[in-house]
Structure 1
Amino acid sequence: MSWVSLFSGGKDSSWALYRAQQEGLDVERLLTVHPAGDSYMYHTPATHLARLAAESVGLPLVEVEPDDFGADDVPDAGAQGDAEIEPLEAALRDIAAEGDLTGVTAGAVESEYQTSRIEGLCDRLGIDLFAPLWQRDPETLATEMLDAGFEIRIVQVAAAGLDESWLGRTLDADALAELRALNDEYGVHILGEGGEFETFVVDGPHMDRRIELEFTTEWEGTRGHIVVEDAWLE
């Protein structure tokens, strides 16, 4: 009864992993996809940090580095999503060939685009999907993450109301209150589900050692991201 956790190191995939462990699912490894370019399916910023996170979690990491998923390579967003799922499916087929694969965990909250493709993948492989965030109230989820002891850093922003000061900021109760106000004013999703912001979990109950980051920021007028210059386990 072995499970694979689809894992970027961000808050949603980390929460799915944590909840799976709480439910007693035997998660034996993590799997990270490193898109070379923009992606409709996958978390993209700082995915190389998943290696440190996996070390802290204490699970082996499978890394998938497919070709660039640029929008020019396929005719539309739907076709791109279908193309992007292929290397993930191939990696899971290889894992299944090694022994019994029961299912995968995923951190989708509201995205039908992502979830429908992962569900299709699971159907084709004959495995289960554990998606504990799916259709949950975003603010309740955020509060549960903070109450559980997740330390979440914001690594990328791309939405009205989110300026450079948010880059590298800890997603805590004060930040959550500000996001609630930005949701009212601009429609910013409280969990960043629409790509408004991306995160990385530097510490949590599923991790043995905290991750320390040294970074600079890059701001492009309306959006920006952190540039990690060094990262290590405390």
Structure 2
Amino acid sequence: MTPALLSWSGGKDAAWALHRLRQRGELDVVGLVTTVTEGVERVSMQGIRVDVLEQQARATGLPVLQARIPHACDNATYEAAFAAALRTAQDRWPGLRDIAFGDLFLADIRAWRDASCARIGWRTHYPLFGSDTASLAREMIAGGLRASLCCIDTTRLDARFAGSDFDDVLLAGLPPGIDPCGEHGEFHTCAWAGPMFAAPLDLQRGETVLRDDRFAYVDFALRGASTTTTH
């Protein structure tokens, strides 16, 4: 099999992409790469703590590489940080040049990823792209994926959904026009159990914080860790 990295957000789509890739057997995922915001030490956009990220990686049996970016980050800075992480990966796995993403249907995001990766000699793969999101959401849940909503865009979805489990109850309760997988940015998730993990993560829910007068972040922490922190 061709060795590859997987872009890992810590959410359901990345987790299910890993499961799908392992089922297909076409790519051998050797590691994960995650964008982390410096200072707050959390996965960018998802807001997942780095220690939770590391626990997720251990549960997958894969190492995780961090592309570290500043809190205020433009595209050029992001691309440079991501490229540096990919160079680190190639130092560790010589000849590595394939990377997979969990994107579902946003063609503009895919085109941007394709172009930025091609410029530095990497090939892109999208094991979930084009999936019907309602069917995919049901497939994830039926397949044993467990995740919780860790970030809500309150301009799109009511903050009361923050912290909810990604399950059949959630899908039934989403308002009309909300994508079942949150693919228009309505919500992001933290995956904590499923067939891609050797064992479930033991997480506890902490405070919910509103940032930028828009994003409601739920602080999920490893059991026993302090939940008083900034996002």
TM-score tier by shorter-chain length is 0.7 to 0.9
Shift of 1:213: 1.3
Stretch deviating more after TM superposition (103-112 or 195-204): 103-112
For residue 190 of structure 1, what is the aligned residue in structure 2?
Answer: 180
Aligned-residue RMSD, C-alpha = 2.5
For residue 151 of structure 2, what is the aligned residue in structure 1?
Answer: 156
Q: Structure 2-normalised TM-score?
A: 0.83
For residue 70 of structure 2, what is the aligned residue in structure 1?
Answer: 67
Q: Is the 8 A contact 1:6 1:30 kept in 2?
A: yes
For residue 27 of structure 1, what is the aligned residue in structure 2?
Answer: 29
Question: What does 1:7-26 align with in structure 2 at a 5 Å threshold?
Answer: 7-24=8-25, 25-26=27-28
For residue 226 of structure 1, what is the aligned residue in structure 2?
Answer: 218
Q: Is the 8 A contact 2:154 2:216 kept in 1?
A: no
Q: Is the 8 A contact 1:106 1:131 kept in 2?
A: yes
Ranges in structure 2 where 5+ consecutive residues have no aligned partner: 225-231
Secondary structure of 1:208's counterpart equals: coil
Stretch deviating more after TM superposition (12-21 or 104-113): 104-113
Question: Structure 2 CA distance, aligned partners of 1:111 and 1:69?
Answer: 24
Q: Is the 8 A contact 1:159 1:188 kept in 2?
A: no
Q: Structure 1-normalised TM-score?
A: 0.82
Q: Is the 8 A contact 2:46 2:189 kept in 1?
A: no
Question: Structure 1 CA distance, aligned partners of 2:28 and 2:20?
Answer: 11
1:86 aligned to which of 80, 85, 110 = 80
Say if 1:137 and 1:81 are closer, same or farther in 2 by CA, change over 3 A. Answer: farther
2:58 corresponds to 1:58:
no
Per-residue CA distance 1:147-177 (angstroms, 9 max, x = gap): 2110111111124574343222111112112
Secondary structure of 1:119's counterpart equals: helix
Shift of 1:141: 1.3
Per-residue CA distance 1:62-119 (angstroms, 9 max, x = gap): 122222334xxxxxxxxx3343222111211232244021411101123344322221
Question: Structure 2 CA distance, aligned partners of 1:23 and 1:69?
Answer: 38
Question: Structure 1 CA distance, aligned partners of 2:85 and 2:156?
Answer: 39
Question: Structure 2 CA distance, aligned partners of 1:50 and 1:81?
Answer: 23
Question: What does 1:91-130 align with in structure 2 at a 5 Å threshold?
Answer: 91-98=85-92, 99-130=94-125
Ranges in structure 1 where 5+ consecutive residues have no aligned partner: 71-79
Say if 1:202 and 1:88 are closer, same or farther in 2 by CA, change over 3 A. Answer: same
Secondary structure of 1:84's counterpart equals: helix
Secondary structure of 1:175's counterpart equals: helix
Per-residue CA distance 1:11-47 (angstroms, 9 max, x = gap): 1111111111111121111111113499xxx543115
